[in-house]
Amino acid sequence: MLLTSLFGLDEDGLLDPDLRIVATAIEPLSSEEFRRLAEGALLKYLDTARATAPALKRFLARLSYVRVDASDPAHFSPLADAVGPIGGGLSIFLSTAPSLFGPTIAGLSQTGLAGETARLALEKPLGSDLASSRLINDAVAAVFPENRVFRLDHYLGKETVQNLLALRFGNALFEPLWNAQGIEHVQISVAETVGLEGRGAYFDGMGSLRDMVQNHMLQLLALVAMEPPSSLNPQSVRDEKVKVLTSLRPVGQRDSIAGQYTAGAIGGALVGGYIDELGGPSDAETFVAIKAHVDNWRWKGVPFYLRTGKRLPIRRSEIVIQFRPVHHSIFGAPGGSLQPNKLVIGLQPEENIRLLLMTKQPGLYRMGLRLREVPLDLGMADAFSDVRRRIAYERLLLDLIEGDPTLFVRRDEIEAQWRWIDDIRAGWASRGSGPRPYSAGTWGPSAAIALAERDGVSWHE
């Protein structure tokens, strides 16, 4: 993701000609060996039409490599020598184990790589609870002030996620209805068909609640529920998101469901259960469903249903806005059932926006009209067929380089998210019940279906 995104920025002429990319890891590689690795990766993941010899040569010339063992302070001096003077600006992208954040930041500071022109981007996991998150944030804050810290959530780089702002605040059609008077409920789903994929050690220590809900899904909820910012500047946008996150009601005992997949079938292929893949017993949840509420004037009484899991039937991430029905239907039988309007915002695998409307069914009928629900589709790939589809990291890396933090997460956002998540985990611990089993290839435990259906709601599938 990182190399292909940086290549895309270079390809479009968005990188300064003098910008250099210095890669670090613990593996002992020369710069030439790293360039060969990078070239192989780019040829594997890029379209052949883009990965031309001149474009690859130009990009690979930007790359160099320095071996760094973050636990050894002596390793940072060669890195500082390779980077050189940072008066023209330095963007640091740090993706490492939480235990190495402190030593890495200390090493950067001691070798002059944390000066006033340096920005630090941090990729999750930023702790495993509020206390550990604060330790990391304190270590960062001791060297980098908040205005030079860029906490990255790659979902915020997706075009359709950013389109939420345009959809809501750039169209007079939606904003008057975007409240408890116009919306009945909201669903946010992130469904994965994959299992552990070699991430067993990390995932088993986190579970789906902390791996997906704490960051991606709560950020999506905040963008859906936020008040209009005064302007599209970083402080205004993030101020409004924080208000939502601090307004989340503590989740009741019946309003959160944890599950763990057992053996089943995905796409016709048999797959093992979670403990089979992991190789031992575990009480980590691979599925979570939550009924959440935002306790403010706009969303009084509107439930937000969140659902995420591994080994579900299909891979799909989407936001569903269920509008309220018309107050009185003039279309009696045989007009058919009048369905409330629904806005479906697809994030992956395809980015699109679909509005479900009621229209007259063509034909000649006695005794009134016959109606049918039809979709009004805005497929991003079709509407913008002349524009290359970008990886989310492209947007975020460009913003990091240019110093725009709008799509990055502020410390108070992270900590508000962790407070809410820690409260849910404490509730699970107090009940002493482990995750409920569900077969791979299904939509989670039956209790997750009941979570919505007891309110007369069906999950959008």
Distance CA 182, CA 64 (A): 55
Backbone region of residue 258 per phi and psi (left: phi > 0; alpha: psi in -120 to 50; beta: other values): beta
**3-state SS, residue 329:** coil
Sequence ranges of the binding site for substrate: 154, 158, 192, 211, 310
Among 453, 450, 455, 460, which Cα is nearest to 257's?
A: 450
As annotated, the binding site includes 124, 154, 158, 192, 211, 310
216, 293, 327, 460: which one is catalytic? 216
Q: Which amino acid is at 347?
A: L
Say if residues 112 and 81 touch (Cβ distance below 8 Å). no
Please tell me whether the peptide bond between 349 and the residue prior to it is cis, using omega within 30 degrees of 0.
yes
- Calpha distance 345→320 (Å, rounded): 6
CA distance 3 to 20: 13
User: Sign of the CA dihedral 76, 82, 87, 90?
Assistant: negative
Residue 362, classified by CB atoms within 10 Å of its CB into exposed (0-12), middle (13-18) or buried (19+), is: exposed
Q: Tokens 């944390």 label which residue? A: 114
Angle between helix axes 411-431 and 218-225 (nearest 10 degrees) is 120
Picking from 460, 377, 455, the residue whose alpha carbon sits closest to that of residue 184 is 455
Residue 130: φ, ψ to 5°:
-60, -40
By CB atoms closer than 10 A (0-12, 13-18, 19+), residue 318 is buried
Please say if 328 is a catalytic residue.
no
**Residue that is written with structure tokens 């360039």 in the block:** 35
Q: Is 99 helix (H, G, I), strand (E, B) or coil?
A: helix
Distance of alpha carbon 19 from the chain centroid: 28
Q: Which has the closest alpha carbon to 367: 335, 338, 397, 393?
A: 335
* Overall residue count recorded for the chain in this entry: 461
CA distances from 355 to 45, 167, 346, 348 (A): 33, 12, 11, 17
Using CA atoms, how far apart are residues 349 and 344, in angstroms rounded to an integer?
Answer: 14
Q: Which residues are annotated as a binding site for NADP(+)?
A: 124
Per-residue CA distances from 400 to 120, 178, 186, 436 (Å): 8, 32, 32, 41
d(CA 457, CA 363): 32
Distance, in Å, from the CA atom of 383 to the CA atom of 377, rounded to the nearest integer, reads: 10
- List the catalytic residues: 216
